[in-house]
């Protein structure tokens, strides 16, 4: 899948069975509905080739390769519009971010857009005058206008993806640190001072590939394995190499300090 088109259902705040036929994913005041939990809904892959078999017709002349994700609501818009609340909008943005990450879709106006934005790209003959989205009430702000709404949705998605990336890096870093610390705690007490001295002396003047090779030898010796493979140990070495050997020195010194 290459693109995502964001919609509103133009209905009530809870998705109906009829609504579910028109999109791959719907976010409403209950939660997220898709082919995994709602019978009759099709997976995004149904739109890989819209000339073969059943597919979801959510975007005129733009269905192939495009995932349709809708938020329930906006019935009778704009006269007496039934609008989703902030919690539902947050889940809507999170869900689009999920699919961007799952299908490796970059967030740009060409790849993640609203139904109204896409409709504007069509010729006058094919245009349907779609307006989802031209109005988004979100907490203490109101976004008005098709372009502004599209930009706002993409901005929220990018914020979510960036936040997730930072969180994952932190979790990975802490996981690797814990692994190094686990290795350190297995070392016999009488070896600690020798290892600290060796690390500080042997690594301080090394650079580039020499440092990486030395890190391989050093970690191999600590965890007592003959060959580094592509699993956790390799990730530890890559991380130590990227961040220098300072993390190992820090972990060893913390251990010495605790034992003294």
Taking only the tens place, the pLDDT of each residue in 71-90 is 999 999 988 889 999 999 99
The string of DSSP codes covering 10-56 is: SB-SS--HHHHTS-SEEE-SS-EE-TTTSTTPPPGGGGS-TTSS---
Task: Give 158's pLDDT tier (boundaries 50, 70, 90).
Answer: very high
What is the residue extent of each domain of the chain?
3-164, 187-259
Residue 181 to residue 169: CA distance in whole angstroms: 18
Task: Give 95's pLDDT tier (boundaries 50, 70, 90).
Answer: very high
Q: Is the pLDDT of residue 129 over 80?
A: yes
Q: Is the pLDDT of residue 29 over 60?
A: yes
Query: Which contiguous run of DSSP H or E holds residue 257?
Result: helix 246-259
Which DSSP category does 82 fall into?
B
Does residue 69 or residue 250 have the better pLDDT?
A: 69
Strand order in the sheet with 112-114: 32-33, 25-27, 66-71, 3-8, 112-114
Does residue 105 or residue 124 have the better pLDDT?
A: 105
Residue 81 to residue 11: CA distance in whole angstroms: 9
Q: Is the distance from CB of 31 to CB of 102 less than 8 angstroms?
A: no
Which DSSP category does 197 fall into?
H
pLDDT single digits (tens) 206-251: 666 666 566 656 655 655 433 334 455 455 555 444 444 454 555 5
Please give the structure tokens belonging to residue 72. Answer: 């329930």
* pLDDT average, residue stretch 189-203: 58
**CATH 3.30.70 for domain 3-164:** no
Residue 53 pLDDT: 85
Please give the structure tokens belonging to residue 41. Answer: 């809904």
Q: Is the distance from CB of 56 to CB of 22 less than 8 angstroms?
A: yes
Q: Is the pTM of this model over 0.95?
A: no
């Amino acid at each position: 899948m290459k693109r995502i088109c964001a919609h509103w259902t133009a209905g009530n705040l809870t998705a109906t069975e009829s609504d579910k036929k028109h999109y791959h994913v719907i976010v409403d005041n209950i939660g997220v509905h898709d082919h995994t939990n709602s019978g009759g809904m099709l997976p995004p892959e149904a739109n890989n080739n819209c000339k073969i078999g059943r597919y979801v017709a959510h975007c005129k002349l733009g269905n192939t390769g495009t995932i349709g994700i809708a938020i329930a609501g906006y019935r009778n818009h704009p006269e007496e519009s039934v609008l989703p609340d902030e919690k539902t909008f947050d889940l809507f943005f999170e869900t689009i971010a999920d699919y961007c990450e799952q299908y490796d879709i970059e967030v740009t106006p060409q790849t993640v857009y609203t139904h109204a934005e896409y409709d504007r790209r069509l010729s006058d003959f094919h245009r349907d005058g779609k307006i989802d989205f031209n109005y988004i009430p979100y907490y203490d702000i109101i976004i008005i206008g098709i372009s502004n709404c599209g930009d706002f949705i993409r901005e929220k998605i990018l914020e979510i993806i960036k936040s997730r990336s930072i969180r994952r890096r932190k979790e990975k870093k802490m996981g690797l640190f814990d692994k190094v610390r686990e290795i350190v705690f297995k070392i016999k007490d009488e070896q600690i001072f020798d290892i600290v001295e060796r690390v500080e002396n042997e690594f301080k003047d090394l650079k580039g590939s020499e440092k990486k090779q030395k890190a391989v030898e050093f970690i191999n010796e600590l965890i007592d394995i003959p060959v580094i493979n592509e699993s956790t140990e390799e990730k530890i070495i890559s991380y130590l190499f990227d961040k220098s050997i300072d993390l190992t020195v820090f972990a060893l010194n913390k251990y010495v300090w605790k034992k003294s």
